[in-house]
Amino acid sequence: MSDSRAVSVSILKGGVGKSTIAVNLSERLAAKENNVLFIDIDPNGHASIGLGFKSEYRAGDTLGPVILEDQPPEDSIHSTEWGFDVLPSSTELETVEDQLRSVSFGDVKIRQEIVEPLLDNRYDYIVMDSPAYLGKLSDNSLVASQNVIVPLTPGAESI
């Protein structure tokens, strides 16, 4: 049995450090000599932009073609100076969210098109930054990983 893992960092609230946790988890796993892919599934793209992929985010041709058009994920993956690879978010993800509603098996596209082909074969870990809302993209993230980190802060608003 493999020790490889896919994990989603997910919570249905913005501004709680979800993207920061996902990026730092990716960096720490890579620092321990693991091959790590960070996937920014959040349409706001804060993690992608913060990692220096602003032009890729604005180009709008990263995750959508991989999920919906059978484009190989390797075509959209970029290396970082922090030792992990990134499949950045893009402006098109809100449209992709809508399109996934009418696609057969729309909840398993990220698992089929990215996680299954790349986990074990190329990457030891895949870390996903999920959207902060319910929808097809967040469903895809959770189905693809089956491992979840939920950032919570102590206080009534986290309950």
Question: Structure tokens of 8?
Answer: 């989603």
pLDDT value of residue 1: 33
Going through 4-158 in order, the beta strands assigned E by DSSP cover 5-9, 36-40, 78-79, 85-87, 125-129, 148-149
Q: What predicted TM-score, i.e. pTM, was given to this entire model? A: 0.91
- Please say if the pLDDT value at position 150 is more than 70: yes
pLDDT value of residue 17: 85
- What is the rounded CA–CA span in Å between residue 154 and residue 76? 37
pLDDT in tens, 43-86: 999 999 999 999 999 987 788 899 998 899 999 999 999 999 99
pLDDT value of residue 146: 85
The tokens 């939920």 sit on which residue? Answer: 150
- What is the rounded CA–CA span in Å between residue 30 and residue 37? 9
pLDDT value of residue 8: 95
In the chain, the percentage of residues whose pLDDT exceeds 90 is: 66
pLDDT value of residue 61: 74
pLDDT value of residue 158: 52
pLDDT in tens, 5-19: 999 999 877 777 899
- Using CA atoms, how far residue 90 sits from 32, 53, 57, 127, in Å, is 29, 9, 4, 17
- Please say if the pLDDT value at position 155 is more than 90: no
Note the maximum CA span of the chain.
44
What residue type is assigned to position 54 of the chain? K
Lateral strand order in the sheet of 36-40: 78-79, 85-87, 36-40, 125-129, 5-9, 148-149
Going through the chain in order, the beta strands assigned E by DSSP cover 5-9, 36-40, 78-79, 85-87, 125-129, 148-149
Average pLDDT score over the chain? 90
Nearest to 137 by CA among 27, 28, 45, 32: 45
- What is the rounded CA–CA span in Å between residue 24 and residue 129? 11
